[in-house]
């Protein structure tokens, strides 16, 4: 991917179409040049192939794939792509007053987890047997005036363990929308013939007090429930990538990784492609959604999620990222994020449910996963609305 270094615009201009910032990548796209004709996962290969055949190897498409493989993606080429390092310094924004509504609240969410556990327990055999499902809830935060998206992005980008992102979403009721977040999870990165995926699953809340924080990490590492939840994701990704790879490697065990607010179990998977021409977006689209955000079996879980969750996921738990005309690119799992529309932010958080799950603990885990966005929005995470 090529990022223009000759920037005619100043970096504090407000018209970012998309932006990504992590330890490895930091750029923003300015102005709308062209949209990839919309379509679902089954046509991404043809559509992106035709697009880059015209736009050329240096062109970059960035944006979002929805959670549901049948839904349409939203990918854009910007007029100009510029480096964005200076965004590591958050811009001060005036404090907002918030009205908060949990949809559903923790108690209702715990009931949905209970329902999922009953379905799992009744499922004793068969190839369609439910082994894991990820259930999410949302939090609708409405401010007294419009959210300063650039200031929000600056705050999200201060955690060195995440990729902060800002991508446009299709308008809803005629109003512009975008997705902002700080994802810790790499779905797929491709550079030439090399691919990397770094799934996360299995979580614990972090604590200010050092000894308590270290104990939370150690307990996560010992947890049979979290290890089984994680192993399902790793096996799924290895199975999906195997047909594309001449070599696929993973370390012996899983590792404990962290963001500022959460501990996770993670596994870095690396591979060498048989055919280097398969583009990053096609591989990401084939992998997505993994059991880190959906479950196993995938199609059955997609349907069950629709029944068990009150709010539509839309682009939450999809994938955000970019690819260039050479086929390189990086795609992340769309988590620790909020859909922003004017003064409104809809935050999402999910948790993997396996037979050993405790509904109340899973509800608390989703509460903790809101913290990255809440902190960046300047909302006190200890407020009652999240419990």
- Report the interface residues with ligand ISC, using CB under 6 A: 134, 136, 185, 200-203, 264, 292-293, 335-336, 348-352, 369
Cα separation, 186 vs 172, in Å, equals 28
- Token pair recorded at residue 386: 């999240």
- The residue (of 226 and 324) whose beta carbon lies closer to ligand ISC is 226
Cα separation, 11 vs 9, in Å, equals 6
Shortest Å, Cβ 64 to ligand ISC: 15
Shortest Å, Cβ 247 to ligand ISC: 26
Shortest Å, Cβ 136 to ligand ISC: 6
Residue where the block lists tokens 């609240």: 105
- The residue (of 22 and 203) whose beta carbon lies closer to ligand ISC is 203
Shortest Å, Cβ 48 to ligand ISC: 26
How many other β-carbons are positioned within 10 Å of the β-carbon of residue 60? 24
Catalytic annotation, pick one of 150, 155, 185, 309? 185
Cα separation, 213 vs 14, in Å, equals 38
- The residue (of 105 and 148) whose beta carbon lies closer to ligand ISC is 105
Shortest Å, Cβ 77 to ligand ISC: 29
Answer left, alpha or beta for residue 361, where phi above 0 means left and psi between -120 and 50 means alpha.
alpha
Catalytic annotation, pick one of 13, 14, 79, 132? 132
Please name every residue paired with 163 in a beta bridge, in sequence order, or none if there are none: 183
Cα separation, 48 vs 387, in Å, equals 43
Beta strands 74-83 and 132-143, pairing class: unpaired
- The residue (of 48 and 319) whose beta carbon lies closer to ligand ISC is 319
Please name every residue paired with 134 in a beta bridge, in sequence order, or none if there are none: 352
Q: Is there a contact between 98 and 85 (Cβ–Cβ < 8 Å)?
A: no
The answer to whether residue 185 is catalytic is yes
Shortest Å, Cβ 182 to ligand ISC: 10
Q: Is there a contact between 67 and 316 (Cβ–Cβ < 8 Å)?
A: yes
Residue where the block lists tokens 């990165």: 189
Burial 309-321, CB ≥16 within 10 A → b, else e: beeebbbbbbbbb
Nearest CA to 22 out of 81, 84, 74, 78 is that of: 84
- The residue (of 21 and 290) whose beta carbon lies closer to ligand ISC is 290
Shortest Å, Cβ 54 to ligand ISC: 36
- The residue (of 234 and 349) whose beta carbon lies closer to ligand ISC is 349
Residue where the block lists tokens 């509800």: 363
Q: Is there a contact between 98 and 379 (Cβ–Cβ < 8 Å)?
A: yes
Shortest Å, Cβ 355 to ligand ISC: 14
CA torsion angle for 183, 91, 342, 170 (degrees, to 10)?
-40
Maximal CA-CA distance, the chain = 63
Q: Is there a contact between 135 and 351 (Cβ–Cβ < 8 Å)?
A: yes
The answer to whether residue 274 is catalytic is no
- The residue (of 29 and 352) whose beta carbon lies closer to ligand ISC is 352
Nearest CA to 322 out of 168, 97, 104 is that of: 168
- The residue (of 264 and 326) whose beta carbon lies closer to ligand ISC is 264
Residues that are catalytic:
132, 185
């Amino acid at each position: 991917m090529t990022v223009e270094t000759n920037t005619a615009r100043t970096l504090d201009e407000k018209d970012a179409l998309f932006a990504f910032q992590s330890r490895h990548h930091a750029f923003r796209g300015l102005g709308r040049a062209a949209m990839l004709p919309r379509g679902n996962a089954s046509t991404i290969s043809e559509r992106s192939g035709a697009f880059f055949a015209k736009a050329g190897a240096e062109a970059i498409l960035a944006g979002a794939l929805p959670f549901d493989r049948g839904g349409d993606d939203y990918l854009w080429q910007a007029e100009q792509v510029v480096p964005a390092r200076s965004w590591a310094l958050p811009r001060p924004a005036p404090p907002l007053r918030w009205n908060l509504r949990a949809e559903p609240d923790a108690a209702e969410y715990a009931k949905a987890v209970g329902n999922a556990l009953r379905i799992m327990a009744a499922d004793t055999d068969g190839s369609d047997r439910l082994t894991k499902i990820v259930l999410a809830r949302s939090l609708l935060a409405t401010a007294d005036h419009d959210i300063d998206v650039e200031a929000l992005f600056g705050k999200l980008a201060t955690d060195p363990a995440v990729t902060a992102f800002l991508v446009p979403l299709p308008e809803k009721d005629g109003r512009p929308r975008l997705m902002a977040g700080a994802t810790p999870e790499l779905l797929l990165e491709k550079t030439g013939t090399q691919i990397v995926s770094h799934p996360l699953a299995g979580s614990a809340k972090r604590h200010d007090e050092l000894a308590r924080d270290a104990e939370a990490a150690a307990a996560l590492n010992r947890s049979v429930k979290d290890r089984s939840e994680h192993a399902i994701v790793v096996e799924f990704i290895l199975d999906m990538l195997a047909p594309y790879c001449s070599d696929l490697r993973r370390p012996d065990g899983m590792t404990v990784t962290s963001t500022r607010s959460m501990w996770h179990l993670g596994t870095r998977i690396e591979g060498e492609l048989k055919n280097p021409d398969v583009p990053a977006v096609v591989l990401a689209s084939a992998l997505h959604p993994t059991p880190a955000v959906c479950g196993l079996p995938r199609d059955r879980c997609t349907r069950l999620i629709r029944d068990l969750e009150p709010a539509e996921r839309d682009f939450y738990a999809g994938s955000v990222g970019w690819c260039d005309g050479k086929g390189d690119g990086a795609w992340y799992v769309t988590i620790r994020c909020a859909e922003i529309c004017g003064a409104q932010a809809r935050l999402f958080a999910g948790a993997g449910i396996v037979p050993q799950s405790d509904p109340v603990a899973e509800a608390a885990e989703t509460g903790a996963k809101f913290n990255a966005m809440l902190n960046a929005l300047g909302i006190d995470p200890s407020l009652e609305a999240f419990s």
